[in-house]
């Protein structure tokens, strides 16, 4: 057989041979079949109730708080409490020495009883017209002076018995039996922690949306798994001219006694609910300062839609513009997408296997 020499073949034959070889090379499976659709998870955008929140830091305070002190200079006779005791209003905390006052009270009581007896005797004699009316008036005045003297000694005695002014928890004991206390000497702190007052500051721009009765949720690093719910009870009447912020007070029930005065707490003030378009945070793609989502078109292809984000909450973000109610957006599988890619909803089994 004679070998073909390309130099002896016509140019047209060479072109036909090249076209045939190229056609044979295009018969690969990738070229003969269309690209498969990309499996993704989507969600339909719909209005839902949304509550904006103001984030702040607050300091916990007791519902009532006082430092117990003595009113007079005296020696401590008896300490009737231990650090951390729970007391009721009127319970005796500390008893100071009061021997002189007790003796004075007995003397004043005797003087009063004698003046009262003489007054009754003179009133009986006045009925028989044996005593002048002026004498009765003088004796009544003596009786009243004796009673006033007795009341003064009783007040002095009460100053030497220190009692709890309200229900609460006592702090650390600062005195011992035999200690000499003077007016202002701290004996112990007393706090009513059945309710905790939480004071915090917010910028003045929120003043128009703050009101009594709004709900708050608070957290403490001490109890990271606990959420404490309370209510705004007061908005200060003044705005701080230096910080341009207003002080707000909320109250949190503290029946379990977990919270203590002085604790730092993070909180959110919940504003009035409104309707908003919301998508999962994982659906949002951040490119620089701009945000995008992949929106599914009617032909099952996707397009990148620029969106303006609003406030956030756990796992969700508000869409202020860029989407409309009824739009479908991709929530899982966005890393494989670009404009024009055809997508298909992933089956539930595939979703579970991918988790």
CA 156/CA 70 separation, integer angstroms: 12
Those residues whose C-beta lies under 8 Å from the C-beta of residue 342, and which sit 6 or more positions away, are: 35, 37, 38, 299, 300, 301
What are the C-alpha distances in Å from 68 to residues 71, 95, 98, 175? 10, 13, 19, 11
As averages over each run of 10 residues, the pLDDT of the chain (355 residues) reads 45 46 45 67 89 89 93 86 91 77 68 82 76 78 82 73 91 90 90 95 90 92 93 93 94 93 92 87 90 92 92 87 92 88 73 46
Strands (E), the chain: 38-44, 47-69, 74-79, 86-87, 92-96, 161-163, 168-170, 180-181, 186-203, 215-220, 223-239, 245-253, 264-280, 285-287, 290-296, 302-313, 316-321, 328-332, 343-345
Strands 86-87 and 74-79: unpaired
Instruction: Answer whether 60's CB lies under 8 Å from 259's CB.
Output: yes
The predicted pLDDT at position 34 comes to 54
The predicted pLDDT at position 37 comes to 84
Tokens of 155: 């007040």
Q: Which domains does the chain have, with CATH numbers?
A: 38-49+275-354 (2.40.420.20), 54-63+196-274 (2.40.30.170), 71-94+163-183 (no CATH), 98-159 (1.10.287)
């Amino acid at each position: 057989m004679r070998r073909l020499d390309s130099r002896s073949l016509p140019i047209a034959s060479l072109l036909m041979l090249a076209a045939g070889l190229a056609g044979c090379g295009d018969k690969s499976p990738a070229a003969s079949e269309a690209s498969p659709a990309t499996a993704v998870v989507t969600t339909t955008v719909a209005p839902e109730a949304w509550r904006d929140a103001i984030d702040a830091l607050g300091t916990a305070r007791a519902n009532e708080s006082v430092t117990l002190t003595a009113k007079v200079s005296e020696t401590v006779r008896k300490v009737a409490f231990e650090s951390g005791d729970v007391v009721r209003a009127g319970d005796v905390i500390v008893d100071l020495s009061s021997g002189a006052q007790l003796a004075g009270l007995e003397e004043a009581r005797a003087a009063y009883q004698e003046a009262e007896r003489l007054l009754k005797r003179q009133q009986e004699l006045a009925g028989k017209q044996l005593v002048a009316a002026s004498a009765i008036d003088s004796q009544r005045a003596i009786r009243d002076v004796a009673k006033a003297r007795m009341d003064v000694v009783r007040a002095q005695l009460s100053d030497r018995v220190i009692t709890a002014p309200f229900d609460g928890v006592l702090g650390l004991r600062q005195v011992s039996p035999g200690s000499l206390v003077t007016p202002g000497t701290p004996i112990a702190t007393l706090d009513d922690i059945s309710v905790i007052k939480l004071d915090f500051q917010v910028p003045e721009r929120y003043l128009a949306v703050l009101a009594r009765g709004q709900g708050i949720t608070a957290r403490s690093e001490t109890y990271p798994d606990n959420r404490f719910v309370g209510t705004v009870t007061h908005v200060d009447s003044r705005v701080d001219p230096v910080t341009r912020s207003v002080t707000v007070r909320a109250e949190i029930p503290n029946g379990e006694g977990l919270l203590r005065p002085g604790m730092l707490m993070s909180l959110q003030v919940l504003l009035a609910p409104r309707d908003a378009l919301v998508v999962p945070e994982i659906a949002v793609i951040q490119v620089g300062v701009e945000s995008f989502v992949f929106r599914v078109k009617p032909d099952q292809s996707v397009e990148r839609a620029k969106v303006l984000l609003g406030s956030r909450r756990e796992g969700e973000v508000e869409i202020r513009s860029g989407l409309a109610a009824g739009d479908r957006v991709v929530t899982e599988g966005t890393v494989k997408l670009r404009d024009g890619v055809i997508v298909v909803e992933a089956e539930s089994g595939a979703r579970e296997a991918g988790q």
